[in-house]
Amino acid sequence: MPLSTKELPRKILETAVQLKNHSKGLYLCVYECGKPISAQEVADKMGMKRAYVHMRLLGLVDRGLLKEHREGKKKLFEVTT
């Protein structure tokens, strides 16, 4: 179940408000997971194609909003703190 805006930390909420809808949903999905998550897991949760999600997550990494790292063959994403 998605978090309500009242439950989001101010920094996360302020960041999300500045994003376009497609990126906002992905950003909040990664945040709500609470742990590093793969593009496939985000895609499954959001009902989207993995390639599209991966491209958008990389855009959020480029903006400094997410960080990525590898765990074996998996590339995982998490919200920067």
Q: What is the pLDDT of residues 2-48, one digit of tens each?
A: 555 556 667 776 776 677 788 888 989 999 999 999 999 999 999 99
pLDDT at 15: 77
pLDDT at 10: 72
List domains and CATH numbers for the chain: 9-79 (1.10.10.10)
CA dist list (Å): 79 to 6, 61, 74: 19, 9, 17
pLDDT class of 1 with cuts at 50, 70, 90: very low
Centre a 10 Å sphere on the Cβ of residue 46 and count the other Cβ atoms it contains.
16
Which pTM was predicted?
0.82
pLDDT at 7: 67
Q: Helix, strand, or coil here: 5?
A: helix
CA dist list (Å): 54 to 4, 8, 23, 26, 42: 25, 24, 11, 10, 9
DSSP letter, residue 8? S
Q: Which of 1, 25, 5 is nearest to 13 (CA)?
A: 5
